[in-house]
């Protein structure tokens, strides 16, 4: 026994007595900096891992031969048409363009013998733009995005036979994010050319590719794990050992390196089996591909993006069985179905297999600030019906990751459309306050709730990096209630979706969690619904958020692209009128219900509500498209209106009170003076949608409204209710004669135009930033004169200079007051607008005090602060409003009505309507030209009530004069009410929509759908009556599923009772 290392009487040890050599510590920052070198271009590229990525790269003739055909202009021909043309020879390096053109390539390849037996052979195509590979017989196979984003197409095994094979590449001369000139959001460069940089047959070295992803993730762990964790130091040590083991050119060394990587990643990262450990995951990865339906490219390009992106996903699902992919927007599925049936069938199969998940339940990922309540309803009706018809089921999750703020009634509408969940993440872009929750219950105005989750990685286009997985825990704000989260990954905005790199990285992230720990455990294979199922089980513990999810950014989108917003408002009103008339006409047997045309109109309007279209953040081309879309909608509306009514439209001058009628699309009767021709006035009144006219006459001495000019610059307009004083074109006094009070504070001026510098931090079309308020300048009026002095109306016209190029003509009118009706001051402006980065608004200081103002929103009212107490209050310096904004104190208030605007602000007692912006990106000509805008100042006794709500509707739906023509008279069914709310009903109830049942045609039924809501926020009761005999009445949801049966009384009527701000839909089945 014994030995030289043993000394003394203690325990024996072989531990060397003398240190054999000095050993140093890793100098952390140097060893970390070295990480990037292992896979970097540049001076070490021939000596590092890059040098071994491919076993062979074959290019040029005879193995790769190219021909091309150029599609004329900006056309996007079909495969069939394209390949019918003569192709000419071309080669790598040749250049194609200009922007937005399409070029079809015929590619013939012969895989050489030394490549044929390789494990993984790909075709790499990179032209720095977008492309789609088609088979020789016209099947779209795989999308391509240049610039290295997605350039590989795995060659089918059948191509590895040494023979020549043909396929096509459809090249689009635009990038994934359009063609911004020098900047992402700059207006498109009209003259961009693209050259084919690569058309290679590549035999990939799978070990090198695997090692690259291994070291990518281990390197990230070494850089991003906290330096006080053992796991970080271990990652750094493993990574450096891999570098030392690697020998350029030695394939065995790749295997040895990968073996070392397994110490950190575990043994299973080369397959989906890595996810089969039974440890509890916290982060649920879901593949996604955000495709903006238009944005920095037009709608037509999106149609191709869908085919490119989703065929890629189908391919990937075959290679990566763990991939679960969710995609929204029924419209995009419909495009695919119509234009790319082969890809649609593949998608359908993947839906059946449970990997491809249609999600969202809406027609497009729409804006939710600007569309009307009924538009939001139809987004769900058209969305859910499409998903159900094509995939056999509806969606459970409303999916709007990128929309610019979320209206307070969405939870109610979601619940009524069969959805209990909501996903977004956009509030992570707030630039003032951090939203405090990740997972919570979101509560609507009526108290309805949905479970909301905002992925803590704070993106819907995660690259599936180590950091994304890490942030899914470190940025989670609801850990007290639940620590799970969704990781929504995949290239997006311009389409794309996950790549094989994303899936490989996530496998390794899971491997790290199971092997060394610390990283939250990511899981693949679940759907979004699986994730929410778990949350719903804990629903009662989740914190609540009541009311709108106000987005503290992109406030300019309430105003940008003014014409488009006006078209939206007009189209929504036109559709209400069309559905009302077509319902009556079809039930009365006058014509068939034009369901197909109405569906087409709605689908068009819903498409234009896409979250970059209606908000105004798209390029100019998109607005040329939407102008055409709306034009068609209005044309169809006129056609249906004429067909249903039998009447023809006319100019007011051509009719008299005996040949004309007035059309009222609103659910209450109106009594108004209308002007038929110069001098001829008529009174329109009656219960039905078509009101007869009778001549209006006054005794000569009688005056209902007067206009006086006491001095050259002063005008006084007065009726029985209001007295308006204008000085230098501005309202210096508005006196309510009934309430005996002045509305304009002493020394202040209403209808004052103001202009602001409007240069936000970056997102021009999107943002107006808080500092713009500091640049306020008043515009002064050049001249004012009398415009009209009629028995029923008086007005003055003023001219306001904005600049040498821009001016405003404003007509300020006061009409005769009708007994029982609240009078208002009407303003009609024509703005000639040619400004750069300026914001035009109009102000109304009012002598009313409240810390909150009210704004009309979809199916209700939202209240917001008029002060800047906290940063949350201040953040709402510009807000969204529909037909009215209102500032009321106890007993009195003032509403500002508008006919096409959405931006508003109330600061103290100053109400300010936003009129026009002039952003130059991404549309260099946004809002340039002529604009006609109307608004009104409506003072009212009492608080905000039904008077304002109804005036808002009426102001947007002026009576329309039609000519009876050869019919001789209006059909009687239109002169009386068919279905209505009895007069004792609470006037807060608005019967907003009357339409036929969605399935009437299909099921051969005759039913009428009524949608009403409580507009003021209190319990509201009413009684519905109809001249039609009702077989059965049910309360239904938005999708017209029965909720409960409603008792019909002996008089054929039924009672309704609405919760505060409830949206209630009834289905009336007719005898």
Q: Which residues are catalytic?
A: 402
> Which residue is listed with tokens 């990037």?
36
Closer CB to Zn ion, residue 292 or residue 767?
Answer: 292
Residue 130 binds Zn ion (CB under 5 A): no
* Number of residues lying near Zn ion (CB under 5 A): 2
Is 521:568 a contact under the CB 8 Å cutoff?
A: no
Distance CA 416, CA 1064 (A): 9
| Residue partners of 621: CB distance under 8 A and separation at least 6 | 188, 297, 298
Closer CB to Zn ion, residue 199 or residue 289?
Answer: 289
Preceding amide of 932 cis, omega within 30: no
CB of 366 to Zn ion, least distance (A): 11
Closer CB to Zn ion, residue 296 or residue 879?
Answer: 296
Residue 292 binds Zn ion (CB under 5 A): yes
Chain centroid offset of residue 129 CA = 25
CB of 295 to Zn ion, least distance (A): 7
Q: Binding segment for Zn ion among 22-30, 397-405, 691-699, 1057-1065 (CB under 5 A)? A: 397-405
Closer CB to Zn ion, residue 301 or residue 672?
Answer: 301
Is 478:472 a contact under the CB 8 Å cutoff?
A: no
CB of 543 to Zn ion, least distance (A): 27
Is 615:404 a contact under the CB 8 Å cutoff?
A: yes
CB-count exposure of residue 626 (10 Å: 0-12, 13-18, 19+)? buried
Distance CA 329, CA 346 (A): 18
Closer CB to Zn ion, residue 290 or residue 394?
Answer: 290
The token pair at 241 is: 């050992």
Closer CB to Zn ion, residue 402 or residue 826?
Answer: 402
Backbone angles phi, psi at 16, to 5 degrees: -55, 140
The token pair at 544 is: 């609540």
Backbone angles phi, psi at 954, to 5 degrees: -65, -40
What 726-734 contacts at long range (C-beta under 8 Å, 24+ apart), as own/partner pairs, is: 726/784, 726/796, 726/798, 726/812, 728/780, 728/781, 728/784, 729/781, 729/783, 729/784, 729/796, 729/798, 729/799, 729/800, 729/810, 730/781, 731/812, 731/825, 731/937, 734/825, 734/937, 734/939
CB of 625 to Zn ion, least distance (A): 17
Is 155:119 a contact under the CB 8 Å cutoff?
A: no
Closer CB to Zn ion, residue 416 or residue 921?
Answer: 921
CB of 59 to Zn ion, least distance (A): 37
Closer CB to Zn ion, residue 110 or residue 362?
Answer: 362
CB of 292 to Zn ion, least distance (A): 4
Q: Binding segment for Zn ion among 39-47, 138-146, 191-199, 396-404 (CB under 5 A)? A: 396-404
CB of 377 to Zn ion, least distance (A): 22
Distance CA 480, CA 482 (A): 6
Closer CB to Zn ion, residue 126 or residue 292?
Answer: 292
CB of 293 to Zn ion, least distance (A): 9
Closer CB to Zn ion, residue 292 or residue 552?
Answer: 292
The token pair at 456 is: 């803590």
Closer CB to Zn ion, residue 74 or residue 428?
Answer: 428
C-alpha pair distances (Å), 695 with each of 670, 679, 681, 908, 1025: 16, 11, 6, 46, 31
CB of 1004 to Zn ion, least distance (A): 41
SS (H, E, C) 586-608: HHCCCCCCCHHHHHHHHHHHHHH
Q: What is the largest CA-CA distance in the chain?
A: 137
| Residue partners of 384: CB distance under 8 A and separation at least 6 | 361, 394, 395, 417, 418, 1039
Closer CB to Zn ion, residue 463 or residue 643?
Answer: 463
Q: Give the number of residues written for the chain.
A: 1071
Q: Binding segment for Zn ion among 288-296, 457-465, 798-806, 815-823 (CB under 5 A)? A: 288-296
Q: Binding segment for Zn ion among 209-217, 291-299, 314-322, 704-712 (CB under 5 A)? A: 291-299
CB of 368 to Zn ion, least distance (A): 13
Distance CA 17, CA 925 (A): 82
* Helix residue ranges per DSSP H, 4-137: 28-33, 79-83, 113-116
Q: How far apart are the first and last CA of the chain?
A: 110
Which residues between 301 and 340 bind Zn ion (CB under 5 A)?
Answer: none
Q: Nearest to residue 132, comparing CAs of 163, 176, 188?
A: 176
Closer CB to Zn ion, residue 492 or residue 520?
Answer: 492
Sign, CA dihedral 501-502-505-510, equals negative
Q: Binding segment for Zn ion among 292-300, 354-362, 527-535, 964-972 (CB under 5 A)? A: 292-300
DSSP 875-926: HTSSEE-SSEEEEEETTEEEEEEESS--EEEEETTEEEEEEE----SS-TTT
CB of 124 to Zn ion, least distance (A): 29
Q: Nearest to residue 902, comparing CAs of 886, 873, 879, 919?
A: 879
Cα angle 225, 230, 236 (rounded to 5 degrees) comes to: 65
Is 384:395 a contact under the CB 8 Å cutoff?
A: yes
Full strand arrangement of the beta sheet holding 198-204 = 54-59, 198-204, 120-126, 152-154
CB of 291 to Zn ion, least distance (A): 8
**Closest residue by beta carbon to Zn ion:** 402
CB of 613 to Zn ion, least distance (A): 11
- Kindly tell me which residue out of 402, 548, 992, 998 binds Zn ion, with binding defined by CB under 5 A: 402
The token pair at 71 is: 């599609």
Residues contributing to the site for Zn ion (CB under 5 A): 292, 402
């Amino acid at each position: 026994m014994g030995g030289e290392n043993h000394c003394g009487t203690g325990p024996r040890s072989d531990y060397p007595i003398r240190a054999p050599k000095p050993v140093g510590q890793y100098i952390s920052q140097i060893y970390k900096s070295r990480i990037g070198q292992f896979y970097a271009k540049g001076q070490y590229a021939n000596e590092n891992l890059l040098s071994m990525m491919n076993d062979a790269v074959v290019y040029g003739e005879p193995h790769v031969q190219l021909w091309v055909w150029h599609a004329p202009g900006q056309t996007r021909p079909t495969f069939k048409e394209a390949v019918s043309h003569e192709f000419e020879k071309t080669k790598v390096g040749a250049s194609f363009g200009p922007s937005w053109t399409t070029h079809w390539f015929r590619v013939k390849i012969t895989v050489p013998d030394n490549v044929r037996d390789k494990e993984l052979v790909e075709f790499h195509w990179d032209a720095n733009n977008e492309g789609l590979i088609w088979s020789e017989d016209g099947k779209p196979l795989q999308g391509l995005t240049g610039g290295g984003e997605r350039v590989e197409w795995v060659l089918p095994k059948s191509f590895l036979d040494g023979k020549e094979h043909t396929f096509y590449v459809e090249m689009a001369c635009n990038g994934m994010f359009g063609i911004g000139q020098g900047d992402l959001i700059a207006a498109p460069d009209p003259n961009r050319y693209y050259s084919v940089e690569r058309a290679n047959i590549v035999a990939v070295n799978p070990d090198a590719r695997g090692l690259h992803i291994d070291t990518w993730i281990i390197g990230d762990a070494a850089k991003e794990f906290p330096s006080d964790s053992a796991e970080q130091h271990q990652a750094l040590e493993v990574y450096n050992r891999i570098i030392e083991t690697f020998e350029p050119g030695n394939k065995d060394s790749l295997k040895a390196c990968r073996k070392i990587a397994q110490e950190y990643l575990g043994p299973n990262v080369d397959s989906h089996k890595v996810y089969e450990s039974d440890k509890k995951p916290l982060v649920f990865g879901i593949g996604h591909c955000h495709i903006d339906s238009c944005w920095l490219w037009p709608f037509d390009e999106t149609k191709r993006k869908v085919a490119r992106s989703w065929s890629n996903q189908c391919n990937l699902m075959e290679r990566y069985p763990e991939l679960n992919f969710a995609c929204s927007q029924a419209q995009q599925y419909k495009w695919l179905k119509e234009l790319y049936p082969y890809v649609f069938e593949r998608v359908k199969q993947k839906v059946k297999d449970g990997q491809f998940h249609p999600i969202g339940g809406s027609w497009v990922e729409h804006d939710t600030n600007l569309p009307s309540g009924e538009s939001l309803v139809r987004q769900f009706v058209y969305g859910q019906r499409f998903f159900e018809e094509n995939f056999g089921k509806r969606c459970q999750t409303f999916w709007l990751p990128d929309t610019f703020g979320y209206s307070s009634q969405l939870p109610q509408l979601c619940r009524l459309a069969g959805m209990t969940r909501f996903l977004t993440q956009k509030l992570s872009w707030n630039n003032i306050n951090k939203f405090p929750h990740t997972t919570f219950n979101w509560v609507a105005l009526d108290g309805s709730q949905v479970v909301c989750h905002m992925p803590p990685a704070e993106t819907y286009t995660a690259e599936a990096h180590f950091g994304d997985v890490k942030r899914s825990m470190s940025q989670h704000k609801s850990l007290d209630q639940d620590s799970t989260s969704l990781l929504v990954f995949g290239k997006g905005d311009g389409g794309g979706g996950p790549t094989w790199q994303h899936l490989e990285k996530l496998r390794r992230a899971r491997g790290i969690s199971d092997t060394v720990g610390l990283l939250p455990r990511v899981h693949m294979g679940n759907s979004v619904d699986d994730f929410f199922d778990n949350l719903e089980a804990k629903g009662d513990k989740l914190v609540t958020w009541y009311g709108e999810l106000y987005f503290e950014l992109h406030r300019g989108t309430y105003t940008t692209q003014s014409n488009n917003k006006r078209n939206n408002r007009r189209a929504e009103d036109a559709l209400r009128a069309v559905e009302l008339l077509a319902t009556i006409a079809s039930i009365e047997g006058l014509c068939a219900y034009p369901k197909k045309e109405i569906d087409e109109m709605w689908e068009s309007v819903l498409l234009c509500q896409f979250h970059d279209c209606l908000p105004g953040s798209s390029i100019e081309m998109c607005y040329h498209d939407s102008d055409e879309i709306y034009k068609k909608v209005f044309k169809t509306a006129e056609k249906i209106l004429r067909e249903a009514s039998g009447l023809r439209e006319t100019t007011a001058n051509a009719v008299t009170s005996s040949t004309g009628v007035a059309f009222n699309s609103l659910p209450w009767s109106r009594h108004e003076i209308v002007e038929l021709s110069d001098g001829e006035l008529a009174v329109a009144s009656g219960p039905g949608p078509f009101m007869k006219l009778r001549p209006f006459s006054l005794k000569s001495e009688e005056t209902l409204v007067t206009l006086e000019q006491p001095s050259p610059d002063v005008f006084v307009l007065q009726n029985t209710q209001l007295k308006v004083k204008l000085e230098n074109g501005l309202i210096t006094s508005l006196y309510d004669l009934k309430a005996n009070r002045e509305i304009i504070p002493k020394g202040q001026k209403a209808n004052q135009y103001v202009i602001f510098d409007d240069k936000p931090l970056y997102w021009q079309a999107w943002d107006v930033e808080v500092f713009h308020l500091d640049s306020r300048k008043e515009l002064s009026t050049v001249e004012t004169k009398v415009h009209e002095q009629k028995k029923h109306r008086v007005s003055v016209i003023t001219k306001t200079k904005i600049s040498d190029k821009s001016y405003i003509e404003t007509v300020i009118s006061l009409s005769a007051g009708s007994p029982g009706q609240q009078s208002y001051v009407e303003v009609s402006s024509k703005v000639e607008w040619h400004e750069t980065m300026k914001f035009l608004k109009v102000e109304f200081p009012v002598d009313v005090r409240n810390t909150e103002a009210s704004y009309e929103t979809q199916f209700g009212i939202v209240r917001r602060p008029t002060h800047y107490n906290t940063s949350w209050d201040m953040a709402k310096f510009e807000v969204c409003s529909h037909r009215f904004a209102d500032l009321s104190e106890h007993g009195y208030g003032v509403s500002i009505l508008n006919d096409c605007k959405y931006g508003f602000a109330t600061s103290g007692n100053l109400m300010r309507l936003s009129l026009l912006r002039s952003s130059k990106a991404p549309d260099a000509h946004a809002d340039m030209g002529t604009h006609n805008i109307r608004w009104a100042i409506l003072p009212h006794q009492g608080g905000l009530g039904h008077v304002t709500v109804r005036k808002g509707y009426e102001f947007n739906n002026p009576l329309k004069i039609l000519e009876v023509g050869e019919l001789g008279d209006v059909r009687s069914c239109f002169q009386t009410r068919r279905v209505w709310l009895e007069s004792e009903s609470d006037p807060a109830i608005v019967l907003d929509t009357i339409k036929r049942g969605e399935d009437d045609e299909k099921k051969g039924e005759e039913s009428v759908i009524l949608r009403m809501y409580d507009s003021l926020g209190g319990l509201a009761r009413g009684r519905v009556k109809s001249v039609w005999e009702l077989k059965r009445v049910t309360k239904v949801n938005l999708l017209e599923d029965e909720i409960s049966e409603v008792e019909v009384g002996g008089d054929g009527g039924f009672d309704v009772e609405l919760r505060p701000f409830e949206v209630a839909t009834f289905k009336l089945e007719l005898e």
